[in-house]
Structure 1
Amino acid sequence: APTPHSRHHRTPEARMPTSSTPSPWDGSLFIGGAFVPAENGRTCVVLDKARQEPLGSAGSASPADMDRAVAQAALAARDWAATDFGTRADLLRTVAERLRSRSDEFCDLIVRETGSIRGKAEYEVSGALDELHQAAGLAGAATSETLPSRAPGRESVAERVPLGVIGVITPWNFPLVLAMRVLAPALATGNAVVLKPSPHTPLSGGLLLADLFASAGLPAGVLQVVPGEQDAGEALTAHPGTAMVHFTGSSAVGRAIARDAGSRLKKVSLELGGNNSLIVLEDADLDQAGAIGAWSSFHYQGQTCITAGRHIVLRPVYDRYVADLAARAARITVGDPAEDGTGLGPLISTQQRDRARDLLAGAVEAGAHVVEGGGCEGLFHRPTVVTGVTPDMALWTEEIFAPIAPVMVVDSEEEAVAVANETEYGLVDAIVTGDPERGRRLARRLGSAMAHVNDTTCLDEAGAPFGGRRASGLGGRSGGESNLHEYTELRWLTVQHQPVAYPY
């Protein structure tokens, strides 16, 4: 298979050096409204993912630091919940204004910290702005309903109240927007938040956000940002002071969090992995299908939960679809994402690269064929198209998280539906067809929580309900009015306006 350098590969050496001036949050946690060191002095070096050189550092919290952060959040939560909705909405709009003015700073950092191209970084900033504006509107949503009562003079109300302190654990792939997806609505509905970003991306997904909210006037203690390793995350999920834990990440870790939270009777919201299908019907526009397929599998090196990991193609168009997808993969330039013209940057870590390499090698050994790509140099993986896959291959059954597109041929729409539904996951599927109504009917037969017709699997909008079923998620949905239900709980309140005669 071609190596990255043999087709459209740029090395990272050409980029200009950047300033080494330390930031105010360098080596810190954000607790009680201030950047402070971890109690034991631990720090985590943050790498530029393309150059594998130090980019900065964050504090690395211990369980004791997490204790301190939750305590500070609990102190601030009551006053924040009592703040009027207009104040909360204005605060979120101010954060949006400041994020917009600092968008270049955030984009530059996301490119370097995540290894993504600038277009993906710009999407994150735009998505975070959408989340802030949606949440500002949510702050003023109706939160109570008058109920009928049999008792004369009894006023009966169902009202939504904040949960209190929400623990949030976010991943490295979309650190800004996935943090803001929870932060903005949780704060809008009157909660305090303790955020533990991924140790791969604690700056754009954590400390820089803390600085942004603090500069906009968020009261001290309402938001804590506590980067750390596994022990810090476990301390946050187990802490008795958190009323809810929101986790975005792998299904394996989500299961562990669900078990722990269940034993403590704590609310959880889990947005987990996916092994998503792209179905190409025989009446599809193949040029459009190839574009959708390439974006669905290769966007951000395939490192998203909504990546298409299974391409299911009707036999009459199979050969042409594979050829078009392979041609698109061959044209993509892999290299330093800070350089103009780069289409794909590096994978996030050697662990992720090794796993992708093992999945691909296992499939080839079992009879699959690499049509395009397959090469990997350092963390840079060529976009890869694989045929001859079978349902028992791990490359087909597991979430890949690399720019690899396995393609399977089927003989009927019925078979396509059966193959797509044969998975433990239930996140998103997409269908490409010349008949949108046919696509709509097929979508309703799929077991995923989200489905798109004539569009990519990689869709996410702030106003839409986002989430998964089965191994892809547990809890409610993020987005729009769903957030009101996610970050509040119902309370029944009655007021009796006239005396009542009781038996004793």
Structure 2
Amino acid sequence: MERYEELNKSFINGEWTEGLSSRNYDNLNPYDNSFINTIRLVTAKQLEQTYEIAKDAQKKWAKSSAPVRKEVLRKAAEYLKNNRDEMIKVISRETGGSILKANVEVDLTIGLVEEAIKMVDKLDEVREIESDIEGKINRIHRLPLGVITSISPFNFPMNLSMRTIAPAIALGNSVVHKPDIQTALTGGSMIAKAFEQAGLQKGVFNCILTDLEEIGDAMLTTPHSQLISFTGSTPVGKHIGMIAGSLLKRVALELGGNNPFIVLADANVDRAIDAAIFGKFIHQGQICMIINRIIVHKNHYDEFIKKFTERVKSLPYGDPMEPTTVIGPLINEIQVEKALSLIEDAKKDGAKIVLEGKREGNVLSPTIFVDVDNKSKLAQTELFSPIATIIKAESDDHAIEMANDTEFGLSSSIFTEDLSEGEQLGLKIESGMTHLNDQTVNDSPTIPFGGSKSSGMGRFGNPWVVEEFTITKWISIQKGYRKFPF
């Protein structure tokens, strides 16, 4: 049985490497602040050296055969499967996620690695395109991009890290990865262990345990990386985009959301409530795709509030290691204080509260606001906590109009009995994803995952991520003599 808590070092060039900073980070369980491990942080100089290692390793890895890359990924997936029970415990302890959430995260991660195996052959596919020049053949090749920078968040760290790492490796790239230091094991060290056990060539995957105080913007400005893949807040994403744009680097940015859950006039209310409960409160609302605004047609409004509130009151909260727990802790005290501040500000602004949460340490039980103004600060803020907002729509068209009245555009959902009309309405919602008769938190390694507007740019998932992580190269071959005009 692996002892993941002992993996408190960065993984650089195939070796577990001590950080050289004078600073340590104490990794604590967000539920009870119990000690997990202490991490010595990596310095900016170590980071620079890591990029040079990754650059050299990538040149060799790009020449590796498809069977070699497939076997590494297959063994990594096998390792994850064989160690899932211990990993689930670590995920729950480190992220504060429920056992259900931890199971979902491991399954999604395994699925990403297995899907990446199918991407390997994309490098060997050559397309021929007809030429309008006599005797010329046009061939389109796909080449590895180079070194990919990966930066992942604290909420679903293993899944949101692997969706960059596995495709990058499959497509002949190397990776320098930095997980959120609060979830260093889940988002970094356990992934590094999987690839170490899979026999991945040294230097192809490197996991850096550090923070911004140590490295600043070095992961963004390094000349050795061709793409920055980031999942996190919109303000940070915009900062990354500005720097990457000035350096003509590619980006894959999955940012914040203000995701609407729409209940239309013809919806089945009970089924909508089932979906809303899950889509609002899984992982305490700390998901970019989480339901942020519940927009209900006036015909169902009172019924929805009554039934939804009764269901929410019964949700178990507390220790995430207890199998029945639904609501566990927020990631840290700062996030709890932020959520409480949002609640107090909304109350001062006149928002009506029908259920107010209670704080126990970093655990915050659910809060429900009703009669919320869609233009209010409460409705326009990504809440990232177990706070539900319910908004009345005067008509179906009004619901769609309010859904679009936000700077964000990640996920959305519509409940309706008319699936044909629902799909047409879904096309009118300004978001990267819309789900009919489901909630907003959906993911799969085979869909184009990503947002619009301030929710990001680029798409994950096979085959869309292949385009993001490779170079398209045109080779023309002039077989017959070409006569030139001069």
TM-score (norm 2): 0.96
Distance change (3 Å), C-alpha of 1:144 and 1:21: closer
Query: Which of 439, 461, 464 is residue 482 of structure 1 equivalent to?
Result: 464
The equivalent of 1:4 in structure 2 is: none
Of 12, 34, 41 in structure 1, the residue corresponding to residue 15 of structure 2 is: 34
Pairs within 5 Å for 1:445-484: 445-474=428-457, 476-484=458-466
Alpha-carbon distance between aligned partners in 1 of 2:81 and 2:61, rounded to the nearest angstrom: 25
Residue among 77, 87, 107 paired with 1:96? 77
Could you say which residue in structure 1 is the equivalent of 2:244? Answer: 261
- The residue number in structure 2 matching 1:143 is 125
- Tell me if structure 2 keeps the 8 A contact 1:326–1:384: no
SS of the aligned residue for 2:451 comes to: coil
- Residue type at the aligned position of 2:336: R
Cα pair distance change 1:329/1:483, threshold 3 Å: same
Residue 63 (1) aligns with residue 38 (2)? no
Aligned to 2:176: 194
Which of 186, 204, 211 aligns to 2:186? It is 204
Contact residue 276 and residue 308 of structure 1 kept, 8 A: yes
Q: Which amino acid is the alignment partner of residue 78 of structure 2?
A: E
Q: Which residue is equivalent to 1:329?
A: 312
The correspondence of residues 106-185 of structure 1 with structure 2, limited to 5 A, is: 106-141=87-122, 143-185=125-167
Alpha-carbon distance, 1:388 to partner: 2.3
Q: Which moved more, 1:153-162 or 1:191-200?
A: 153-162
- Distance (whole Å) between structure 2 residues aligned to residue 333 and residue 205 of structure 1: 27
Aligned CA RMSD, in angstroms, stands at: 1.8
- The alignment covers a number of residue pairs equal to 484
Distance 1:40 1:400, change over 3 A: same
Amino acid at match of 2:149: G
Aligned-pair identity in percent equals 35
Are positions 1:435 and 2:418 aligned together? yes
C-alpha separation in 2, matches of 1:92 and 1:191: 13
Q: SS of 2:392's equivalent?
A: strand
The answer to whether the 8 Å contact 1:272/1:472 transfers is yes
Alignment partners' CA distance in 2, 1:436 and 1:498:
56
Aligned 8 A contact 2:20 2:41 in 1:
no
> Aligned to 1:407, what secondary structure does the other structure show?
strand
Q: What SS does the aligned partner of 2:202 have?
A: coil
**Structure 1's 22 and 434: CA in aligned 2 closer, same or farther, altered over 3 A?**
closer
Give CA deviations for 1:310-329 in whole Å, capped at 9, x if unaligned: 01101111011011111111
Kindly indicate whether residue 285 of structure 2 is the aligned counterpart of residue 311 of structure 1: no
Report the CA distance between 1:226 and its aligned residue.
Answer: 0.3
Any conservation in 1 of the 2:26–2:39 contact (CA below 8 Å)? yes
Matched residue, 1:408? 391
Give the direction of change, closer, same or farther, for the CA distance of 1:379–1:24 in structure 2 (3 Å limit): closer
Q: How big is the shift at 1:154? A: 3.0
Would the aligned equivalents of 2:4 and 2:190 in 1 still touch at CA under 8 Å? no
Q: 2:218 maps to what in 1? A: 235
Alignment match of 1:251 (pick from 227, 234, 247): 234
Distance 1:252 1:164 in 2: 27
Change (3 A) 1:404 1:496: same
For the residues of structure 2 that align with 1:22 and 1:208, how far apart are their CA atoms? 7
Give CA deviations for 1:384-420 in whole Å, capped at 9, x if unaligned: 2111211332110010000111001111011101110
Match of 1:440, SS state, is helix
Alpha-carbon deviation of 1:227? 1.6
Structure 2 unaligned blocks of 5 or more = none
CA drift of 1:430 comes to 0.4
Per the TM alignment, residue 24 of structure 1 is displaced from its structure 2 partner at its CA by 5.0
Residues 357-376 of structure 1 show CA distances to partners (whole Å, capped at 9, x for unaligned) of 11111111111122123222
Q: Is the 8 A contact 1:325 1:385 kept in 2?
A: no
In structure 2, give the amino acid aligned to 1:479: G
| Aligned with 2:56 (options 61, 72, 75) | 75
Specify the alignment match of 1:359 in structure 2: 342
How many angstroms apart in 2 are the aligned matches of 1:217 and 1:20? Answer: 17
The 3 A distance-change label for structure 1 pair 305 and 23 is: closer
Shift of 1:494: 2.3
The counterpart of 1:371, out of the listed 354, 359, 369, is 354
> How far 1:282 moved relative to its partner?
2.3
CA positional deviation for 1:498:
4.9
Q: Distance in 2 between matches of 1:323 and 1:62?
A: 54
Cα distance in 2, alignment partners of residues 91 and 340 from structure 1: 34
Judge conservation of contact 2:5–2:36 (CA < 8 Å) in 1. no
Q: Which residue does the alignment assign to 1:347?
A: 330
Equivalent-residue separation in structure 2 for 1:146 and 1:340 (angstroms) = 55
**Residue 503 (structure 1) shift:** 7.2
SS in structure 2 at match of 1:125: helix
The CA deviation at 1:167 is 0.2
Distance (whole Å) between structure 2 residues aligned to residue 249 and residue 180 of structure 1: 15
SS in 2 for 1:444: helix
Residue 30 (structure 2) aligns with: 49
Choose from 278, 289, 293 the match for 2:272: 289
1:395 aligned counterpart, secondary structure: helix
Native 8 Å contact 2:281 2:326 kept in 1 = no
Compute the displacement of 1:43 (Å): 2.9
- Whole-Å Cα distance in 2 between the matches of residues 469 and 59 of structure 1? 38
**1:132-162 per-position Cα deviation (integer Å, ceiling 9, x unaligned):** 1111011113632112224444332121111
Give the distance between the partners of 1:77 and 1:486, measured in 2 at CA. 17
Secondary structure at the counterpart of residue 131 of structure 2: coil
Query: Is 188-197 or 83-92 further displaced after alignment?
Result: 83-92
Is the 8 Å Cα contact of residues 448 and 461 (structure 2) preserved in structure 1? yes
Deviation at 1:491, TM superposition (A): 1.2
1:500 shift after superposition: 4.9
Structure 1 distance, partners of 2:374, 2:197, is 52
- 1:429–1:448 CA contact under 8 A, matched in 2: yes
Determine helix, strand or coil for the equivalent of 1:450. Answer: coil
Cα distance, 1:200–1:314 mapped onto 2, change above 3 Å: same
